[in-house]
Amino acid sequence: MTAEPLAFGPDFRWGVSTSAYQIEGAVTEGGRGPSTWDTFCAEPGRVLDGDTGAVACDHYYRYAEDVALMRDLGVDVYRFSFSWPRIQPSGAGPANAAGLDFYDRLIDSLLAAGIQPAPTLFHWDTPQALEDAGGWTSRDITSRFADYATILAGRFADRVPMWMTINEPVVLTLLGYAVGGHAPGRSLGFEALPVAHHQLLAHGRAVQALRAGGASNIGIASNHAPTWPASDSPEDVEAAGLYDNLVNWLFADPVLLGEYPSGMGEAMPGPVAEDLSVISTPLDWFGLNHYAPVLVGAPTGDPDTAATDGIPLPPGLPFEPRPLEGYPKTDFGWPVVPDAFAEILRTFKTRYGDRLPPIYITENGCAINDGVDDQRRIDYLDGYLRALKQVIADDIDVRGYFQWSLLDNFEWSAGYSQRFGLVHVDYKTQQRTPKASYHWYRDLITQSRK
Query: Has 363 been annotated as catalytic?
Result: yes
pLDDT, position 6: 87
Spatial CA neighbour of 405 closest among 34, 123, 10 = 123
> Could you give the angle at the alpha carbon of 104 between the alpha carbons of 441 and 359, nearest 5°?
45
Round to whole Å and give the CA distance between 346 and 367.
Answer: 25
Beta strands in 202-250 (DSSP E): 218-223, 227-229
Q: Is 324 contained in some domain?
A: yes
Q: Is 195 contained in some domain?
A: yes
Structural domains counted in the chain: 1
**What is the end-to-end Cα distance of the chain in Å, rounded?**
23
Question: Which three-class secondary structure state does DSSP give residue 114?
Answer: coil
- pTM for the predicted model, two decimal places: 0.97
- Say which amino acid occupies 166: I
DSSP, residue by residue, 332-344: TS-B--HHHHHHH
Question: Which three-class secondary structure state does DSSP give residue 164?
Answer: strand
pLDDT, position 314: 86
Q: Is 407 contained in some domain?
A: yes
Spatial CA neighbour of 287 closest among 354, 222, 196 = 222
Q: Cα dist. 238→19, 193, 234 in Å?
A: 36, 20, 6
Cα 321 from chain centroid? 21
Query: Has 274 been annotated as catalytic?
Result: no
pLDDT, position 1: 43
Q: Is 4 contained in some domain?
A: no
Round to whole Å and give the CA distance between 162 and 200.
Answer: 19
Asked whether 263 and 195 are in contact (CB, 8 A), the reply is: no
Per-residue three-class SS string for 40-103: HHHCCCCCHHHCCCCCCCCHHHHHHHHHHHHHHHCCCEEEEECCHHHHCCCCCCCCCHHHHHHH
Catalytic residue among 24, 168, 320, 343: 168
Q: Is 397 contained in some domain?
A: yes
Spatial CA neighbour of 395 closest among 329, 433, 360, 349 = 349
Phi-psi category of 116—alpha, beta or left, where left has phi over 0 and alpha has psi -120 to 50? beta
Cβ neighbours of 89 (radius 10 Å): 21
Asked whether the CA dihedral 223, 421, 419, 390 is positive or negative, the reply is positive
Catalytic residue among 24, 320, 363, 411: 363
Round to whole Å and give the CA distance between 445 and 75.
Answer: 7
Round to whole Å and give the CA distance between 266 and 9.
Answer: 46
Question: With DSSP H G I counted as helix, E B as strand and the rest as coil, what are the percentages for the chain, rounded to 5?
Answer: 45, 15, 40
Spatial CA neighbour of 168 closest among 229, 225, 210, 127 = 225
Q: Is 217 contained in some domain?
A: yes
Long-range contacts of 71-74 (CB under 8 A, 24+ apart): 71/113, 71/114, 71/115, 72/442, 73/16, 73/406, 73/422, 73/438, 73/441, 73/442, 73/445, 74/14, 74/442, 74/445, 74/446
Q: Name residues whose C-beta falls within 8 Å of residue 274's C-beta, 6 or more positions apart in sequence.
A: none
List alpha helices for 367-448, DSSP H.
375-393, 436-448
- Say which amino acid occupies 242: L
Q: Is 434 contained in some domain?
A: yes
pLDDT, position 307: 67
Cα 71 from chain centroid? 23
52 half-sphere exposure, CB direction, 13 A CA radius = 17
Longest dimension (CA), the chain: 62
pLDDT, position 3: 67
Phi, psi at 65, each rounded to 5°: -65, -40
Q: Is 28 exposed, middle or buried (0-12, 13-18, 19+ CB in 10 A)?
A: exposed
Which run of H or of E encompasses 355?
A: none
Round to whole Å and give the CA distance between 204 and 209.
Answer: 9
- Per-residue pLDDT of 116-133, as tens digits, reads 999 999 999 999 999 999
Round to whole Å and give the CA distance between 374 and 395.
Answer: 32
Q: Is 182 contained in some domain?
A: yes
- Domain enclosing residue 82, as ranges: 13-448
Spans of the chain, pLDDT less than 50: 1
pLDDT, position 449: 83
CATH number at residue 262: 3.20.20.80
